[in-house]
Amino acid sequence: MNKIPLSRVFLNDEIREAAMQAVNSGSYILGPECRAFEEELARYVGMEHCVLSSSWTAAVMLLHQAMGVSEGDEIIIPSHTAFPSVEPLIHCGAKPVFVDVDESYCLDPDAVEAAVTPRTVGILPVHLYGHPADMDRLMAIAERHKLWVMEDCAQAHGARYRGRRVGSIGTASAFSFYPSKNLTVMGDGGCIMTNDAQVAEKVRMLRNHGRKSKFTHEIVGYNLRFNEIQAAIGRVMLRHLDTLNAHRREVAALYDERLAGLVETPREQPWAESVYHMYVIRSRDRDALGAWLKEQGIATGIHYPVANHRQPAITGRYTDLPRLPRTEALVEEILSLPIYGELPLTDVDRVCGKIAEYRGSR
């Protein structure tokens, strides 16, 4: 029996050729491929400006700096997300205010409203697992309290919220191109998006040693640039993204149907068109179920086993951390099943059959 991986990177001859052309072009950093990739990404999402950087984490660190995030600021963020969501704001001296999630596993707007203080400057919703957070309610809270909203779209390339692509709704947004993501560049990579030309310009300067022209450095920046080979790959990937996402949705629909009654399946909310970066089920015996699936040659994952407000890097730094009952319960029960843009439906069938077999045997 073949093994079923959790995810697999899309690769075809078009991608190999694009990479080779970039290798042969003689231009390697922030050249025409990077500029075209930025334009195409911005157009795809529906934001005016896109700035590439070496990862989501790097891009957001630059963005937070460009937006003026600084010592004493508070930013409201879900605890249930990848740890990197939290890092850039801390590097800028701000404090993460962790709140709970709703049943979509994204920021609970009621919890956000309750967490606003005079020091709050922004809200950082995460479209976790490819499912959009409830943006209308979050934007209304932000407007009431004069806060910015930065959408973490690392897992949600192409997802839609009430028909609009995520990443185009907040004040700014950021995407990751890490290899497991719905859109990858076969290595690390990321970008930010904004409609604010000044912020975009500042991020561009910060990523390239603080300069606008070759030998004039107007601010102190970094080298967090992007490269031509990965941009060329990303441009091809972007052309295939909708097809790959549509397949992920087909996989999810089949899981929904076959797993009903066996485990708790994810609930797509009325406002959402998820791109199922991950298909996450819940089960009280998830460790035993995951171990059993592993014996059957089926990979699973836990995203994420430790809530961020319980991570040593956080508990060692802050003393006033909240209790977040939903997050603390779900991290004990969640299990990610195999899903990717080309996962054969026969493999989905096998995973479901094995879960049914496991349930029948207990």
Ligand X SMILES: Cc1ncc(COP(=O)(O)O)c(C=O)c1O
Binding string, residues 7-46; x marks residues near ligand X by CB under 6 A:
----------------------------------------
Looking at 152, 228, 273, 347, which residue binds ligand X (CB under 6 A)? 152
- Is 190 or 358 the residue whose CB approaches ligand X more closely? 190
146 burial level (CB within 10 Å; 0-12, 13-18, 19+): exposed
Question: Are the C-beta atoms of 308 and 80 separated by less than 8 Å?
Answer: yes
- Is 187 or 322 the residue whose CB approaches ligand X more closely? 187
Give the span between the Cα atoms of 121 and 173, in whole angstroms: 15
Residue 129 interacts with ligand X (CB under 6 A): yes or no: no
> CA 234, 8, 11: angle at the middle one, nearest 5?
45
Give the span between the Cα atoms of 263 and 347, in whole angstroms: 18
- Is 178 or 358 the residue whose CB approaches ligand X more closely? 178
Main-chain dihedrals φ then ψ at residue 319, nearest 5 degrees: -105, -20
DSSP string covering 299-338 = --B-S-SS-GGGSHHHHTT-S-PPP-HHHHHHTTTEEEEP
Looking at 34, 115, 154, 241, which residue binds ligand X (CB under 6 A)? 154
Looking at 78, 84, 96, 290, which residue binds ligand X (CB under 6 A)? 84
Looking at 4, 45, 66, 82, which residue binds ligand X (CB under 6 A)? 82
Residue 104 interacts with ligand X (CB under 6 A): yes or no: no
Looking at 176, 182, 227, 274, which residue binds ligand X (CB under 6 A)? 176
Question: Are the C-beta atoms of 130 and 151 separated by less than 8 Å?
Answer: no
Dig out the tokens for 6 from the structure.
């959790």
Supply the minimum distance, in Å, between the C-beta of residue 82 and ligand X: 4
- Is 53 or 194 the residue whose CB approaches ligand X more closely? 53
Binding string, residues 40-69; x marks residues near ligand X by CB under 6 A:
---------------xxx------------
Give the span between the Cα atoms of 248 and 180, in whole angstroms: 13
Footprint on residues 190-219 left by ligand X (CB under 6 A): 190
Question: What letter does residue 83 receive in the DSSP assignment?
Answer: G
Residue 126 interacts with ligand X (CB under 6 A): yes or no: yes
- Residues lying near ligand X in the complex (CB under 6 A): 55-57, 81-82, 84-85, 126, 152, 154-155, 176, 178, 188, 190
